[in-house]
A and B are shown apart, each in its own frame.
Chain A
Amino acid sequence: MNNDASWERRTFVALNYFLMALVALACLLPIVNVLAISLSSSAAVGSGQVKLWPVGFNLKSYEFVLGKPEFGRAFTVSLLRVAVGVPVNMLLTILVAYPLSKERKDFRFRGPYAWYFVVTILFSGGLIPWYMTIKMTGIVDTFWALILPGAVPVMNVILLLNFFKSLPDEIEEAGLMDGAGRWQALWRIAVPLSAPAIATLTLFCIVNHWNSWFEGLILMNRPEHYPLQSYLQTVIVNRDMSLLSAADVAKWSLISDRTSRAAQVIVALLPVLLVYPFLQKYFAEGIVMGSVKG
């Protein structure tokens, strides 16, 4: 800290801020562009005038997007999916990661169990067997098809088990000495101590559930049951125009409207951005762990 005043330090700090600001700007511009498009008139967008500031400002595309019943319905499905899917993910992640974070001496079978899970990251039978299995379990076209097949996020398990491993053993052992069982040790000691990690993984799970679109398209039998991103996929992705008949042209000009596509991107982005700052608190400040350890 005593070096803070030196000119090297000051140059470094200035440069550091400058670089970060620059990078942040590079990340910000595209989203500003999309936002500007969503707020512009479609004529201005069509003629390529819109860069970073709306031209012909209006909210029509938002009215259009939010006024569509499909959008609201899909939005609800997605919210529900996050509300149920994320707790399921986190519960299973914690329950699996904790035993696997133990040393061999405490848990003889941790090795085989660990590999049992890791193998599933790398090997899969492909789309058709995956679909047939889910169909076999009878959950196709139900809400559970979006929750159960991906209920154990193995990658997150590995991250969490490493966090658990880095916890000081003494705290837990002290707890066990006091007569706590393994379950209490998990919920009363390991979980609270891993708050930053758990916040991070929760964010990953939210983003994952919110953003995944492929399962919805394949596992739902009616467009009305699609979660938001699956629905957006059907609206945003470029279609094979060669399949359009003359009768489709009029309709197409409606959905090709870039302003409404942009509006949908922004609306879909909002919920995650709203959640982010709350979770960010946990991994932006190194208080929680530090205070315990120190």
Chain B
Amino acid sequence: MKRKHGGEWPFHLMLIPGVVLVFIYSYVPMAGIVMAFKRLAPSKGMFGSPWVGWRNFEYMLHMPEISGVVWNTVFIAVMKMAAGVVVPVTFALMLNEARSRLFKRSVQTIIYFPHFLSWIILSGLLIDILSPSTGVVNELLRALGLKEVYFLGDPGWFPYTMVLSDTWKEFGYGTIVYLAALTGINPALYEAAALDGAGRLRQTLYVTLPGLLPMIILMSVLSLGNVLNAGFEQIFNLYSPQVYKTGDIIDTLVFRIGLENANYGVATAVGLFKSVVSFGLIGISYVLAYRWANYRIF
């Protein structure tokens, strides 16, 4: 049969344009990774610049606050990753239960809004509404008889505030993928389940959720690449000295170092470090998904 359809040649042909473009614009620049082991002297070019061995990595590891910063990064990033899967899936399921098409559509459109507001605009807004004295959120808390919370100024709260606000901003956009996946579930399965006497809850548990599972696994695995990305733009616009202890992350630290020093070497080293960690995680989860679930992600 293979030969009949031109063998594998059509596949190679289809891939050529993509392979070429990716080679030029992704692989050629990757040569720049050597900068992690060099000190850039622009007049000598990237390859003529002097080697410095592991010094850029040592520099990174010897910063006094590094361990706390790595912990903050992973803590915030992992919570965001978890929320970034759980919330959109839950919301997609909730939407799936809604019957009114108009309602469904309006809600879908609305939850998609915050994605389009930049953190610069949102940070101004969040500082207002989260203010302990004048903010709406705290007025609400007080009305409910609760104590006000200094969301952005209390080091204990800060990481959670970051996770919550990021989730709020992005979950609508994240829901889109799952909604599309829902359309792929065979209606016959629901009918069969209904015939077996399964209620809506059981249908959701035994038909919808398994149907979404491949997409959930896929998105989770891909999000692992972000385990060291806690969200630079957001935190940079919202943190302050009083929450450095729990809010300072790798990217903001590197930014401040960059502020004093055009150290491309260190920047590249940090980037490489993050890439290797993400690559490792994605590689492991790829293998695990294949071994255990017999599911190949890509």
User: How big is the A interface, by class?
Assistant: 35 or more
Closest to B237 in A: A238
Instruction: Specify which chain A residues have a CB less than 8 angstroms from the CB of B183 in the assembled complex.
Output: 196, 282-283, 285-290
B145 part of interface (Cβ distance < 8 Å):
no
Secondary structure class of chain B's binding surface, majority of residues: helix
A289-B184 in contact given A122-B225, A124-B26, A203-B176 (Cβ < 8 Å): yes
A276 to B185, CA, bound (A): 23
A281 to B186, CA, bound (A): 18
The 8 A CB mask of A203-239 against B (1 = contact, 0 = none) is: 1100100010000000000000000000000001110
A24-B107 in contact given A126-B35, A181-B6, A289-B183 (Cβ < 8 Å): yes
- Tell me how many residues of B have a C-beta within 8 Å of chain A: 88
Instruction: Specify which chain B residues have a CB less than 8 angstroms from the CB of A19 in the assembled complex.
Output: 94
Instruction: Specify which chain B residues have a CB less than 8 angstroms from the CB of A114 in the assembled complex.
Output: 298
A125 to B40, CA, bound (A): 13
A294 touches B187 (CB 8 A): yes
The stretch of B63-71, B150-158, B267-275 in contact with A is: B267-275
Instruction: Specify which chain A residues have a CB less than 8 angstroms from the CB of B218 in the assembled complex.
Output: 158-159, 162
Instruction: Specify which chain A residues have a CB less than 8 angstroms from the CB of B103 in the assembled complex.
Output: 17, 20
| B interface residue numbers (CB < 8 A to A) | 1-2, 4-6, 8, 10-12, 14-15, 17-19, 21-22, 24-33, 35, 40, 46, 91, 94-95, 97-99, 101, 103-118, 120-122, 125, 168, 172, 176-177, 179-180, 182-188, 194, 199-200, 214-215, 218, 222, 225, 264, 267-268, 271-272, 275, 278-279, 282, 297-298
Supply 6 A–B pairs (Cβ within 8 Å), ascending by A: A107-B11, A126-B268, A129-B30, A129-B46, A197-B184, A236-B118
Q: A19-B94, A30-B125, A284-B104 are in contact. List 12 more A-B contacts (CB 8 A).
A: A16-B94, A20-B107, A27-B111, A28-B110, A99-B11, A124-B30, A129-B30, A133-B25, A148-B25, A182-B6, A200-B177, A290-B183
| A interface residue numbers (CB < 8 A to B) | 1, 3-4, 9, 12-13, 16-17, 19-21, 23-24, 26-28, 30-31, 33-34, 92, 95-96, 98-100, 102, 106-110, 113-114, 116-126, 128-130, 132-134, 136-137, 148-152, 154-155, 157-159, 161-163, 166, 176, 181-183, 185-186, 196-197, 199-200, 203-204, 207, 211, 236-238, 265, 269, 272-273, 276-277, 280, 282-290, 293-294
